[in-house]
Chain A
């Protein structure tokens, strides 16, 4: 049991034991954000960059995040072109002092679907500049293979469009990606709504999940954070335990030998 508890996954060589990466947006208050992050047990929190407004506006937020002591994963949310994403990634690297970048490059505003072509191009450029790219991508096997071929050690296919809470819309695709890329760290990013969704991702063999809205948008974010923490642990235990094979025909679990009188001839 202890080996299961202590198992970890790698993000560009860094060993991570918490299989829940958490976002810092949309919470009802800064205090709830901080408490939810702590309750999640996450070791990695996502942040972003936006135009500086007034001097005090972002101070409290950034201080709270720094106080968590967690690893920072900046994102390029809102970028629609390769140049925008590269510039924002470079700015993130300087402000947050990390080579990690959650690369988001939106191709369609309706469902915030990543642009696979621009994503691959930006990934190649950023990897060449020394970034450790964690691309937010669709659950397309060939795209994932191309990103891995480019040098990505971590891929983050979506479960469903950002903020929808629909869960894993295409388990077949996600499962296939897991099977075809056994040596790549895979994190389901976006679209989760329930702890059971996170559990399913881990049961499929995904290394972790990244989520924000499912916790921040819950009636009680801190309690939901606890629930997701338990869910990823359950999913990981289940994956390690190897599930029984599914069958189409019922099979009794109670021994049939020594059946009592009502079945005797």
Chain B
């Protein structure tokens, strides 16, 4: 795999090949259901994760249910 860009997922650094989409990027994190995704602060619907390409320096937030008041 040609490493050509660096991104972060939940603050952790990952190196990914060029033309990687969000869904592919999430496999690097071993994301577990259920979750929702934001890219650079913008919500990305799950239905668009495999058509949204990542770019150098992108920041993904991968959020899951937790206790709340």
Contacts and interface: CB of A to CB of B under 8 A. Distances in A.
Interface of A: 23-27, 33, 46-53, 55, 58-59, 61-62, 65, 74-75, 77, 83-84, 86-88, 90-92, 94-96, 162, 190, 212-213
Given A91-B36, A95-B64, 14 more contacts: A25-B67, A27-B67, A47-B68, A48-B65, A49-B64, A52-B63, A52-B64, A62-B34, A62-B64, A86-B43, A91-B37, A94-B46, A95-B35, A212-B69
Interface of B: 10-11, 29-32, 34-38, 41-43, 45-46, 61-69
29 contacts: A23-B67, A25-B67, A46-B69, A47-B68, A48-B65, A49-B36, A49-B65, A49-B66, A52-B29, A52-B35, A52-B63, A58-B64, A58-B65, A61-B65, A61-B66, A65-B65, A75-B69, A77-B69, A84-B41, A87-B42, A91-B36, A91-B43, A91-B63, A92-B36, A94-B45, A95-B34, A95-B35, A162-B69, A212-B69
Secondary structure dominating the interface of A? mixed
Given A91-B43, A95-B36, A52 B10 contact: yes
Contact of A61 (B31, B43, B67): B67
